[in-house]
Chains A and B, each alone.
Chain A
Amino acid sequence: MITEVSSIVFELGEGSMQRNPVEKLGETGLYMLQDLGRMGLYLWLALKGVFRRPFRFAEFMRQLHFIGSGSVVVIFFTAASTGMVLGLQGYYSLNKFGAEGMLGSAVALTLIMELGPVLTAIMVAGRAGSAMCAELGIMRISEQIDALDCMAVDPFRYLITPKFVAALVSIPLLTVLFDVVGIAGGYVAGVHLMGVNPGSYIEGMRSSVTNHDIWLGMVKSFVFALLVVWISTGRGYLVYQIRGAGFGAQSVSRVTTQAVVFSSISVLVFDYLLTAVLL
């Protein structure tokens, strides 16, 4: 198990205070490598848990409800406002070139390929990712995860895998919802408020969005889902092994913040990488 991976006593004694900057840099680099290794091992065990039987279907449905259904309202409002802003902003820019007819195309492509997957993942990281991280962190500090280990119940199969599968199913579906609501929001702002021709909005969208664009958006969404659930649950599960997290309730609050920040940053970094590779 992951608890076997490292046994390090973090001590900020005189020794560490007197280190020179190069030593501190090396120490930080080593810690980062070690942390990455732990997280990699954690991901491997979590994915392996998918194939361990019996699969906890009821828990999977509960997580699907929490991550998926529970995020619908947040995603709806985020998508509607994003789509409407895109409609207004797009109209303002395109109008300068007399190309308002391209509004549908611009809104749809922006949402399907970029903003839909990115904003959905970031919103889910903030809402469900933080909750999953805190839940596992509390279970770790109150020895509930150790108790599972001691009962010879695999914590990955029991706790982590249902969360992974639920996130991998629900985040792409939420992204589709985001795209649809966002495009509708753009339509309301562009057509009803700014007077763009409804036919050109729809037709522009239909003619410019290809299957490849939709596929790219879905691949991104799937990868972001994996990043969010991996980082969020991993930081909570490994709370004791994260340098500077401290102990008790404070450690859980720190790793929860870290989970949301790291998830969001990694989504943005991978967005660039995937766009560069797959576009």
Chain B
Amino acid sequence: MREIAIEFREVVKSFAKINGGKQVILDHVNFTIPVGKTTVIAGGSGQGKSVLLKLILGLMPLDSGRILVSGEDVTGVRGRQLERLRTRFGVLFQGAALFDSLTVYENVALPLRERSTKSEQDIREQVMAILTQLELTGHEEKFPAQLSGGMRKRVGLARALQLKPEIMLFDEPTTGLDPVMTQDIYNLFARTQEQVGYTAVIVSHDIPKVFNLADQVIVLNNGEVDVFDSPEAMQWSREPHIVEFVESTMGKIYQSHLVEQ
């Protein structure tokens, strides 16, 4: 039996509309994310992909249901317990979310300075090691505004990996990058995952490129989820909304090719 990193049990999340009524984003959703594997969360705009990440991190409350991390119920945890939960995660945000007023070095050192008891010397060694690993040496003294989009993502990844997370969450990690840079970033994810051994959850529009990394695919559609054990299984699905999704993301020709096969 595979080990489970994250489990959603009957999770419901909705947003109140100011003119009355509710917009249901997740409707009694159940799925699991396996340890050490890469799960891609796909779906159209406004389907709640980023909301799902925020629920995992406790940045938003659930309406009902439970979320378990490594078997531990983390639904509604607060205070120190929530802080402890968050130290198990690393997050790479869509825009990297680097602190504008801090240099690359200071950004990457921040989690260590705030969350560890290491000496400044040890912090320097660890920061320089990860900067070398991610090919960022020579950029330590630059500010985020002086970096390209791809480099910002690398710095964001370096920062997220500092506390050696068990689970990495990637929120649209390649938005705004050209195809070469996108591939470069995906290669970097694969490399760091191999080295660190984290469980990866990637929210992305970048279909089919991100499928090269995926072990499991979760598609969000009008509050419901479809879970596929592999990208291939998703592409072969005959569910109308999945067929439509494959068509819209991978093209009609590809879809008709699948149908012929």
On A, residues with C-beta under 8 Å from B are 1, 3-4, 7-13, 15-16, 19, 27, 138-139, 142-144, 146-147, 149-154, 158, 243
Query: Can you list 19 pairs linking A and B with CB atoms under 8 Å apart?
Result: A3-B60, A4-B59, A7-B16, A7-B61, A9-B15, A9-B17, A12-B19, A13-B17, A13-B19, A16-B19, A19-B19, A139-B99, A143-B95, A146-B93, A147-B97, A149-B57, A149-B86, A151-B110, A153-B115
A11 contacts B60, C-beta separation under 8 Å: no
Task: Let me know if B111 is at the binding interface, CB within 8 A.
Answer: yes
Bound Cα distance from A11 to B97, whole angstroms? 27
Query: What's the nearest-Cβ distance from chain B to residue A209, in Å?
Result: 43
Q: B93-151: which have CB < 8 Å to A? A: 93-95, 97-100, 110-111, 114-115
A10 contacts B91, C-beta separation under 8 Å: no
On B, residues with C-beta under 8 Å from A are 15-21, 23, 57-61, 82-84, 86-87, 89, 91, 93-95, 97-100, 110-111, 114-115, 159, 163
A152 contacts B17, C-beta separation under 8 Å: no
Among candidates A4, A9, A152, residue contacting B18 with C-beta atoms closer than 8 Å: A9
Q: Which residue of B lies closest to A10 (CB)?
A: B18
Query: What's the nearest-Cβ distance from chain B to residue A53, in Å?
Result: 12
Given contacts A7-B60, A146-B97, A158-B114, contact A152 B83 (CB under 8 A): yes
Among candidates A4, A12, A143, residue contacting B61 with C-beta atoms closer than 8 Å: A4
Query: What's the nearest-Cβ distance from chain B to residue A258, in Å?
Result: 19
List of A residues within 8 angstroms of B21 by Cβ: 15
Among candidates A12, A13, A19, A149, residue contacting B59 with C-beta atoms closer than 8 Å: A149
A151 contacts B115, C-beta separation under 8 Å: yes
B87 contacts A152, C-beta separation under 8 Å: yes
Query: What's the nearest-Cβ distance from chain B to residue A179, in Å?
Result: 34
List of A residues within 8 angstroms of B93 by Cβ: 143, 146-147
Given contacts A3-B59, A150-B91, A151-B110, contact A144 B15 (CB under 8 A): no
List of B residues within 8 angstroms of A142 by Cβ: 95, 97, 100
Bound Cα distance from A142 to B84, whole angstroms? 24
Bound Cα distance from A19 to B18, whole angstroms? 12
List of A residues within 8 angstroms of B95 by Cβ: 142-143
Bound Cα distance from A12 to B100, whole angstroms? 34
List of B residues within 8 angstroms of A144 by Cβ: 97-100
Given contacts A142-B97, A144-B99, A153-B114, contact A8 B86 (CB under 8 A): no
Among candidates B18, B111, B163, residue contacting A27 with C-beta atoms closer than 8 Å: B18
List of B residues within 8 angstroms of A151 by Cβ: 86-87, 110-111, 114-115, 159, 163
List of A residues within 8 angstroms of B17 by Cβ: 8-9, 11, 13
A9 contacts B23, C-beta separation under 8 Å: yes
Bound Cα distance from A83 to B98, whole angstroms? 46
List of A residues within 8 angstroms of B23 by Cβ: 9
In the A-B complex, list the 9 residue pairs whose CB atoms are closest, starting with the nearest: A15-B19, A147-B97, A143-B97, A152-B83, A16-B19, A152-B86, A9-B15, A150-B91, A153-B114
Query: What's the nearest-Cβ distance from chain A to residue B107, in Å?
Result: 10
B59 contacts A152, C-beta separation under 8 Å: no
B97 contacts A153, C-beta separation under 8 Å: no
B60 contacts A16, C-beta separation under 8 Å: no
Among candidates B84, B94, B111, residue contacting A153 with C-beta atoms closer than 8 Å: B111
Given contacts A146-B93, A152-B84, contact A9 B16 (CB under 8 A): yes
Bound Cα distance from A1 to B78, whole angstroms? 8
Q: Which residue of A lies closest to B85 (CB)?
A: A152
